[in-house]
Chains A and B, each alone.
Chain A
Amino acid sequence: DIQMTQSPSSLSASVGDRVTITCRTSQTINNYLNWYQQKPGRAPKLLIHDASSLQSGVPSRFSGSGSGTDFTLTISNLQAEDFATYYCQQSDSAPLTFGGGTKVE
């Protein structure tokens, strides 16, 4: 199974900040790396797929980068509605594992 190491587990930020979250996989994946946002009591929402492709309707302040085993989600100019928990997930091979999550507060 592919293990996912996401960091940090939480971070403190302010509106207008630039936020970076990292995800490392235990083996090389074919850029099948996705990022989701989840707010309390709500279902996760897809932000980025295939490492760097912005999902339709997602603001352009969200961006993804990386390849191989190291990936990054960046939120530029953090907005009030961005305070949430973020998860990475690999879809290279089953089981489709998630990272442990990063709470942005």
Chain B
Amino acid sequence: EVQLVESGGGLVQPGGSLRLSCAVSGLTYSTYWMSWVRQAPGRGLEWVANIKQDGSDEHYVDSVKGRFTISRDNAKNSLYLQMSSLRAEDTAVYYCALAAGWELAYWGQGTLVTVSS
């Protein structure tokens, strides 16, 4: 069974930093693109970033460029999102998702990030 489990969410002050993790099991993690997707309270889905199988290529939505960094450790079957200079508008549930092909076929349960003073 494929499982994705996020961790690292919590309450952080504006301007602060946070690192999210996603542990993947049940398949050969290193052969898939991975993404982070977020959902602000009561809002729709917003794709945040993705990373190639070997970590050699990354893409970001404009609103997080220069503030967020996606990375992965294939030896640990793990995905990360380093978030800095956090803003109130970054408050959301953050999901990690695995791309089988180009579609996001598997999702974690999400971790809540709240940016507030």
Q: How many residues of A contact B (CB 8 A)?
A: 24
- Are B47 and A46 in contact (CB-based, < 8 A)? no
| Interface of chain A, main secondary structure | loop
Given the contacts A43-B109, A95-B59, A50 and B47 also touching, CB distance less than 8 Å: no
Q: Counting CB contacts under 8 A, is A83 at the interface?
A: no
State the CA gap A86–B105 with chains docked (Å): 15
Q: Counting CB contacts under 8 A, is B88 at the interface?
A: no
Q: Counting CB contacts under 8 A, is B26 at the interface?
A: no
- In the assembled complex, which residues on chain B have CB atoms less than 8 Å from the CB atom of A49? 101-103, 105
Q: Counting CB contacts under 8 A, is B29 at the interface?
A: no
A-B interface pairs (CB < 8 A), number: 61
- In the assembled complex, which residues on chain A have CB atoms less than 8 Å from the CB atom of B47? 89, 95-98
Q: Which of chain A's residues has its CB closest to B44's CB?
A: A101
Given the contacts A94-B59, A100-B44, A89 and B105 also touching, CB distance less than 8 Å: no
Among B99, B107, B110, max chain A CB count under 10 A is at B107
Given the contacts A43-B95, A43-B108, A45-B107, A91 and B102 also touching, CB distance less than 8 Å: yes
- In the assembled complex, which residues on chain A have CB atoms less than 8 Å from the CB atom of B108? 43
Which B positions have Cβ atoms within 8 angstroms of A? 35, 37, 44-47, 50, 59-62, 95, 99, 101-105, 107-110
Additional 9 contacts, C-beta under 8 A, given A44-B107, A89-B103: A43-B110, A46-B103, A49-B102, A50-B101, A50-B102, A91-B103, A95-B60, A95-B61, A96-B47
